[in-house]
Each structure stands twice: as structure tokens, then as C-alpha cells.
Amino acid sequence: MSGKADYRDASRIEHMYAALCRVKELSTGIARVDFVEGNSSAELILYHLIILGEAANNVSDEFCEQHSEIDFRDMAGLRHKLVHDYANIDMSRIWQVLVDDVPIWYASIKPVFEALPRPVGMPPNLSDFD
């Protein structure tokens, strides 16, 4: 990977991988009923799903085409639903995302993340927005 666009894609993949790791960590051992009724772990999981979707939404079209095994569109769509339709979040549906989608998303992101050069090159800070 080289150039600014590649750095940005790599940075987004790092953010996506970190968010998925955090979601997996936070959801381990949580009971469906506790999650659906809402608790601090559920709120943190929603936060990290938003990060995941925002990063997915900002990966370049070229990178998305090169990595069609990753469902960037669904991740971004979930983020849009959580952020823009926050009053109507169905926690039962989010539980299904945790059970059905997160393991698939993690399995598709992990090898791409592991293939990234180390270090990516620039710190993840405001220089992303140059």
C-alpha cells in the first residue's frame, strides 16, 4: 500500500478491526435478555458498531472493489440506522447482528487487517483529514 488513499484505507481497516474486537469482547458472556433490555455493555457495543460503520463508509470505492468479501455496505448501513434512526433502534435486531453478522464481518476483516504493513505509516489523528 502506498499513498494517502492507501493509508486512509489501511487506517479505516484498523479502526474496523479494533471495533469488531471490542464488540466481540463486550458481547462475550452477555445474555440476550440483558442486552435487549439495555445495559452499559449494550450501549458500548452500539458505540463500537457506529465506529465500525463509519470506518466502513469511508473506505475508498477502489478498496471495496478489491475486497468484495467484506460487506462494507451492510456495516455502513447499520451505522446509518443507529445514528439517524436512534429513536427506533430494535435491540433484538442488534442482537441478531451480533450473533449472525459480527462473526462473518470479523472473519472477513481479520486477514485484511493482518496483511496490512506495520506500521501503517501515520498516526491515526487529524492528518487523516488533509
Convert the pLDDT of each residue in 86-109 to its tens digit: 889 999 999 999 999 999 999 999
pLDDT number for residue 119: 59
Stated pTM of the model: 0.85
Bigger pLDDT: 19 or 128? 19
Is 9 within 8 Å of 109 (Cβ atoms)? no
Centre a 10 Å sphere on the Cβ of residue 21 and count the other Cβ atoms it contains.
Answer: 15
Average pLDDT over residues 44-72: 96
Task: Indicate the pLDDT class of residue 126, thresholds 50, 70 and 90.
Answer: very low
Please, how many CA atoms are within 13 Å of residue 26, restricted to the half-sphere of its CB? Answer: 22
The phi, psi pair for 20, rounded to 5°, reads: -65, -40
